[in-house]
Amino acid sequence: MATEQGYALPPGFSLRETRADGSQEYFLNMGPQHPSTHGVLKLVVRLDGETVIEVVPHLGFIHRAIEKMGENETFVQYIHLTDRMDYLSSHINNLCVCLAIEKAMGIGVPERGEYIRVMVSELQRIQSHLLWWGAFGMDLGAVSAFLYGFKEREKITALFEELCGARLTMNFFRPGGSNADVPENFLARVKEILEELKFSLDEFEVLLTKNPIIRERTLGVGALSRERAINYGCSGPVGRASGIDFDVRKHDPYSVYDRFQFDVPLGKNGDCYDRYMVRMQEMRESIRILAQAMAGFPEGQYRSKEKASYKVPAGSYYANVETARGLYATYMVSDNSFKPYRIKSRSPNFSNLSAINEMSRGGKIADLVAILSTLDLIIPDIDR
Amino acid sequence: MGIEKAKSGAPAAGHHDPDAQYLASLLGEAGALGGLPPIPGVAGSGGLTNAVDWVVGWARANSLWPLVFGTSCCAIEMMATGASHNDWARFGLEVARASPRQADLIILAGTIVEKMGSRLITLYEQMPGPKYVIAMGACTISGGPFYYDSYSVVKGADRLIPVDVYVPGCPPRPEALLFGVMKLQELIRKGAWRNSLTPRPINHSPIKDEMSETARLWEEKEKLKQEGMKEAQERFKAENPDFKGVVIKRIAAPKFDEVARTVRPARGVPAADMLAILTERFPALTVQNVPEANAEKIAALGPEYVLDVAVGREDYLPFITFLKEDARLRLDFLIELTAVDWKDRFDVVVHLQSMEKGHKLFIRCALPHDVHPEIPSLSELYSGANWHEREAYDFFGIRFAGHPDLRRLFLDDDFPGHPLRKDFEDPSRVVKRPY
Amino acid sequence: MKAYAVNHPIGDIVRSLLPAPWAAIANGALAVAVIAGLVTVSAIFLIWLERKVCAHFQARLGPTRVGPFGLLQPIADAIKLLMKENLRPRGVDNLAYFMAPLLPITGSFLVLAVMPFDHNLQVVDLQAGVVYVVAVSGLGILGILIGGWGSNNKYSLLGSMRSGAQLFSYELSMVLCLLLIVMASGSASLREIVLSQQGTVADWWIFKLPVAGFLAFFLFMISSTAELNRGPLDLSEAESELTGGFHTEYTGISFSMFFLAEFVNMFASAGLGATFFLGGFLAPQFGIGPVDYALAAVPGVIWFFLKTYFLIFLYMWFRWTFPRLRIDHLLSLEWKFLLPVSMANLLLAATLVTFKLIIP
């Protein structure tokens, strides 16, 4: 069985000879349809009993050719395609494309527009982490957690719907600000949501964080050292759990993130528990940012003067943001036209997932599930 | 489509409960309801078999166990439908099965691409009958936002497996999905597929040219529409001789002022200093768009400027090794590695960042426009480069010498050509935008 | 060996109508039918209850559309599963694949044969009832093992291997807990065990043996959860890891057999818990005259069901609250913690019984 469903397995990836005691290694196909791969990721796992020896991910089951399509759409039209990559950070993805266009064309953003961007991005981060928390619980067998996470997330989704008419694929930000102003009761709604969220987060801590089974299943599982994490290009909560002190909001600030006081939670061992804790703390930090943004929310215009056309001067432009999953970058090449010559999105999940073999080696199948869960994968973001 | 079918098939009475109607028909004339004939040769079988049919239909409609299947964005809305706020358990759907053997319903939540197509067919075949399919979202109905220009998206899941109910939206709201489920229940209760154990046809080749046929149909419809419009306009003019035209009032778009862009200086080692360090070791390198670059010229580009250098193919690997190991630079983090097709050459583009100091450096290396141009692999230096290089190989056909496992990353091995090349043409897959 | 159902007034009516050997057979069949009917209806009700309990734990409503409060939901599920195509996946071992679903449900129904539902409602009262219960409940493990083996699927195989390891291990501490009660009550007959708890609530074995009784009940609940393959110890199913574990390849009626067996098993297990620790069909007595009189007026079978359903609710509570354990943690929990503790507990109980330190 050197090949498997027509896929050449990597060199050296074949069944070992039967050992002296008569036992043999075997392959297990996880995915593309598997409840814990969170989409259509396929992992070919080489197992010795239940112990994982090697994991080879197979990608492309949701490769939708977004980059090729981008070459045939205008720069502003590309924004809506980024919604469909990391759909849990769609606002932040949109922001990244807008930042690149603004950089290329020298478009400024008014104060109110910047505050809207920061607040909406942070709300998005919280709702993404809430969904992750629920999915994490479900992957580890605590199904109720999934619904608790969704219950909280639904409030933020409803707010987004009021804001831009969509619950998931927002397409809200534009070069120079946003598509529309915030609704009148926006601040009051955010305040209400945050009050409830603080209470729920405390509950979540009791339900999962302090649960001995969770601790036993995550502590020391799937550890990734700082050096290896950097080498793999891991970013976001995965990188920070390994101790990489890197958060684009802090270390390469965009929008008005440099005005807010917030900490970047860091882990030590880079195991599942650290990744879990980093995300839990990140939600509280986001609440902190939101509280500050609400206090200083300015009046005025939410968008700068619209350009007659978005013809980007020739050259290559790069912008990066911190999505809920890490460093997201847009690299666009223009040949002085309305459409990008080449547009590329750097997705954080792509690099984070590439470390999975190293993380899960030597663990059990159940550990692999915990690792996949704490990587917080969005497969369409990897495949694009 | 599916919903339309459900509507047209429904009794003319309107919004009455189909179950109640059905029962009434059973109690009255046996087999009065259309579409459910008695067993041939068995006298009086109509009412009895109809009663059994009704019970079975009722059970099947109220016990739809969905398969855990979600490919992209719609999956989140599908989960939201299952979550506390919408709770599909009310309809008996909460027993989501991970194994297709126990599922009755696939909710196609998200885009189906060519590589997934064969897997989807397998999943469908693994399900025991009767089985139902709901196409959720624009992508599974027609390809949706990925209809044009995409070389991998299957333009409508019904090209692969038979779909019963279509739920439009991008993504559809949970309420829309629930509505779709209720429509499906209605179809099942009405016994739309009495012999549903017989599998309906599966199409194994999603690639076909139906654009010409569609265009022809479209033109025909347009022609009809135009004729109808013309007629209506003439009639309207004859009836209202005084009509001058409609006055359209537009709401004025809000006027915004210009705002100056705030420029944030790049972090870490300044670009000019970096250039000095680099030229000291590699004098042959050039800076992109800055001929004969020197410190003043670089400084004039503003504090935001990130140094973008071009190196030759021979210098490529030593250069990047130097960048990673030099104590002043320590560019240890590979942001991305990709390529640009310039029609006469390829540029391999590498974006590096230093985790300690925070500065970035963009590197590009020109390659000839061959079928498989070759460049040294960076996977020894950066483990993360492994997949980035596989991606570049997949999209552009660039070979990376010394790569441990150079296979296609996203596309099937038998995919013809490298899609992100500018000369990539595949009319069987790609539908070109007509405007 | 006494067949109590035969002594029931209905038994007398049957005896008056039929000659002796036929009457015995008819009475036996009658008793089996009553118990099987009772438990099957109960299992279907349990499926509904589980969905409702789970929904309310998760801030949802659960089934509401089918019948009043969604009560007909499990019936719809049952009819649908019966009417579903029964596939035979390629490469399965025919005998193993089709026989496996029958074993767990047989095992759990056999346990019910000795279950004392009431003073006069028991199919058969074996002197070695406890031994019998332990023996026939092993059939369930066998069903899961050969089902996983026969399915020709790696997930199934992994699931069944897990459950084999898990169930054999947890059987030990469960048996030790039951043994403790057998020792204290001086009988292995389930009916005798219930009758040994006559008196007030304090005479139930959970309270009667100081510390040891409660500890045994606690250990029994944990190990029986593992025996039942229910969350948080549902490693053989482990949906997020193994997609469905041992029943991944089962469809339609074969799957529904596993599904039903889970609930009948849960009923049997909770019934055992009620019988051994909570006084079985005995009404709770508090030593307050009028209250006791009123409580004793309620038929024993209702008390039995109330106690059983209370324990079932506990099982459901566990399932929808805790995350799943990992297989090696699960086994070390048994071998390194539960087994030593239950052994020590047995020793403690032996001391208590020997020195008559039982609460009078």
Tokens 């009065």: give the residue.
B32
Chains that touch C (3 or more CB pairs under 8 A): A, B
Mutate to test the interface with C, among B90, B97, B127, B184 (most CBs of C within 10 A): B90
- The residues near A221 (Cβ < 8 Å, ≥ 6 apart) are A271, A272, A273, A363, A367, A370, A371
CB contact under 8 A, A144 and C321: yes
What pTM did the predictor assign?
Answer: 0.86
Cα separation, B382 vs C305, in Å, equals: 65
- Position B202 scores a pLDDT of 64
- Between these two residues, A251 and B41, which has the higher pLDDT value? A251
What pLDDT digit, counting tens, does each position of B288-323 carry?
877 777 778 878 888 888 888 888 888 888 888 988
CB contact under 8 A, A35 and C328: no
- Position A303 scores a pLDDT of 87
Cα separation, A383 vs A376, in Å, equals: 15
Q: How confident is the prediction for chain C on average, in pLDDT? A: 83
First-residue to last-residue Cα distance in chain B: 27
B83 touches chain A (CB under 8 A): yes
Span A66-381: which CATH code?
1.10.645.10
Q: How confident is the prediction for chain A on average, in pLDDT? A: 86
Token pair of B98 as six digits: 């991970």
Considering only CB atoms, A65 lies closest to which of B123, B150, B351, namely B150
Res. A350: pLDDT tops 80: yes
Cβ under 8 Å to A: C residues 322-351: 322-329
- Position C185 scores a pLDDT of 83
- Position B32 scores a pLDDT of 40
- The residues near B3 (Cβ < 8 Å, ≥ 6 apart) are B165, B166, B180, B183
Cα separation, C320 vs A188, in Å, equals: 35
Token pair of B238 as six digits: 């004859």
Q: From C87, which residue of chain B is nearest by alpha-carbon distance?
A: B128
Alpha-carbon gap: C88 to the closest alpha carbon of chain B (Å): 10
Confidence of residue A1 (pLDDT cuts 50, 70, 90): very low
Cα separation, A94 vs A82, in Å, equals: 6
**In this structure, what are the phi and psi dihedrals at residue A337, rounded to the nearest 5 degrees?**
-145, -175
Alpha-carbon gap: C148 to the closest alpha carbon of chain A (Å): 15
Task: Find chain A residues with C-beta within 8 A of C54's C-beta.
Answer: 143-144
- Position A14 scores a pLDDT of 57
What pLDDT digit, counting tens, does each position of C249-278 carry?
888 888 888 888 888 888 888 988 998 888
Token pair of B142 as six digits: 């027609």
CA pseudo-torsion sign C145, A218, C336, C271: negative
CB contact under 8 A, A304 and B257: yes
Residue B21 one-letter amino acid: Q
C-alpha distance from residue B166 to each of A62, A342, B156, B169 (Å): 20, 35, 10, 10
**In this structure, what are the phi and psi dihedrals at residue B120, rounded to the nearest 5 degrees?**
-65, -40
CATH topology of domain B59-196: Rossmann fold (3.40.50)
Res. B11: pLDDT tops 50: no
Segment B273-278 mean pLDDT: 84
- Position A132 scores a pLDDT of 92
Interior/surface letters B73-86, b for 16+ CB within 10 angstroms, e for the rest: bbbbbbbbbbbbbb
Alpha-carbon gap: C51 to the closest alpha carbon of chain A (Å): 12
CB contact under 8 A, B77 and A168: yes
CB contact under 8 A, B92 and C62: no
Segment C222-249 mean pLDDT: 79
Mutate to test the interface with A, among B151, B335, B345, B379 (most CBs of A within 10 A): B335
C321 touches chain A (CB under 8 A): yes
Cβ under 8 Å to A: B residues 248-277: 254-262, 264, 267
Token pair of C177 as six digits: 């807990």
- Position C359 scores a pLDDT of 59
Confidence of residue A127 (pLDDT cuts 50, 70, 90): very high
Closest CA to B164 of B212, B216, B107: B107
Segment B42-70 mean pLDDT: 77
Indicate the angle between helix axes C252-277 and C154-185, nearest 10 degrees.
20
- Position B48 scores a pLDDT of 65
What pLDDT digit, counting tens, does each position of C107-154 carry?
888 888 888 887 777 777 788 888 898 888 888 888 888 888 888 888
Beta bridge partners of residue A173, listed in sequence order: A178
Question: DSSP for C53-97?
Answer: HHHHHTT-----SSSGGGTTHHHHHHHHHHTS-----TT--HHHH
Q: How many CA atoms lie within 13 A of A22 on its CB side?
A: 0
- Position C9 scores a pLDDT of 67
Q: Where are the alpha helices (DSSP H) in B10-135?
A: 18-27, 45-62, 73-82, 114-126
Res. A161: pLDDT tops 50: yes
Among 3.30.460.80, 1.20.1250.20, 3.40.50.300, 3.40.50.10860, name the CATH number for the domain at B271-401.
Answer: 3.30.460.80
Q: Are C78 and C341 in contact (CB under 8 A)?
A: no
Task: Find chain B residues with C-beta within 8 A of A110's C-beta.
Answer: 256-257, 259
B334 touches chain A (CB under 8 A): yes
What pLDDT digit, counting tens, does each position of B164-190 carry?
888 988 889 899 999 999 888 888 877
Q: How confident is the prediction for chain B on average, in pLDDT? A: 80
Considering only CB atoms, B338 lies closest to which of A109, A254, A331, namely A331
Tokens 């332990």: give the residue.
C134
Chains that touch B (3 or more CB pairs under 8 A): A, C
CB contact under 8 A, A147 and B84: yes
Kindly list the domain boundaries of chain B, sorted by start residue.
59-196, 271-401
pLDDT-above-70 percentage for chain B: 83
First-residue to last-residue Cα distance in chain A: 30
Considering only CB atoms, B306 lies closest to which of A40, A151, A318, namely A318
Residue B354 one-letter amino acid: S
What pLDDT digit, counting tens, does each position of C26-76 carry?
777 877 788 788 888 888 888 888 888 888 888 888 888 887 888 888 888
Segment A215-237 mean pLDDT: 89
B386 touches chain A (CB under 8 A): yes
CATH 1.10.645.10 segments of chain A? 66-381
Q: In the A/C pair of chains, how many CB contacts fall below 8 A?
A: 79
Q: Are A349 and A357 in contact (CB under 8 A)?
A: no
Classify strands B105-109 and B345-353 as parallel, antiparallel or unpaired. Answer: unpaired
Considering only CB atoms, B128 lies closest to which of C60, C87, C247, namely C87
pLDDT-above-90 percentage for chain A: 21
What pLDDT digit, counting tens, does each position of C149-192 carry?
888 888 888 888 888 888 888 888 888 888 888 888 888 888 88
Res. B206: pLDDT tops 60: no
Segment B59-87 mean pLDDT: 87
Segment A9-33 mean pLDDT: 69
Res. B284: pLDDT tops 70: yes
Tokens 């291997």: give the residue.
C161
Closest CA to A220 of A363, A352, A354, A349: A363
Res. B100: pLDDT tops 80: yes
Classify strands A173-174 and A177-178 as parallel, antiparallel or unpaired. Answer: antiparallel
CB contact under 8 A, A142 and C323: yes
- Between these two residues, B22 and B124, which has the higher pLDDT value? B124
What pLDDT digit, counting tens, does each position of A28-65 carry?
888 788 877 777 888 888 888 788 888 888 888 888 88
Q: Are A326 and A234 in contact (CB under 8 A)?
A: yes
What interface predicted TM-score (ipTM) does this complex get? 0.89
CA C101 to centroid of chain Cα atoms: 17
DSSP state at residue B159? G
Res. A126: pLDDT tops 90: yes
Q: In the A/B pair of chains, how many CB contacts fall below 8 A?
A: 232
Task: Find chain A residues with C-beta within 8 A of C318's C-beta.
Answer: none
B89 touches chain A (CB under 8 A): no
Q: From A143, which residue of chain C is nearest by alpha-carbon distance?
A: C320
Q: Are A68 and B419 in contact (CB under 8 A)?
A: yes
CA pseudo-torsion sign C323, C329, C334, C340: negative
- The residues near B42 (Cβ < 8 Å, ≥ 6 apart) are none
- The residues near C238 (Cβ < 8 Å, ≥ 6 apart) are A141, A366, C159, C162, C245, C324
Cα separation, A323 vs A276, in Å, equals: 16
Q: Where are the alpha helices (DSSP H) in A140-243?
A: 143-164, 186-204, 212-218, 226-232, 236-241
Segment B239-247 mean pLDDT: 82
CB contact under 8 A, B256 and A305: yes
Cα separation, B115 vs B126, in Å, equals: 18
Res. A25: pLDDT tops 60: yes
Chain B contact residues (CB < 8 Å to C): 55-56, 58-60, 62-63, 84, 87, 89-92, 94-95, 97-99, 101-102, 104, 126, 128-130, 197
Q: How many CA atoms lie within 13 A of A131 on its CB side?
A: 27
- Between these two residues, A302 and C8, which has the higher pLDDT value? A302
Alpha-carbon gap: A147 to the closest alpha carbon of chain C (Å): 6
C-alpha distance from residue B432 to each of A69, B151, B429 (Å): 10, 10, 10
Closest CA to A189 of A150, A158, A153: A158
Confidence of residue A278 (pLDDT cuts 50, 70, 90): very high
Q: Are C109 and C264 in contact (CB under 8 A)?
A: yes
Token pair of A122 as six digits: 């942070």
Task: Find chain C residues with C-beta within 8 A of A369's C-beta.
Answer: 240-241
Res. B19: pLDDT tops 60: no
Closest CA to C283 of C306, C261, C262: C306
Closest CA to B128 of B101, B108, B157: B101
Segment A211-235 mean pLDDT: 88
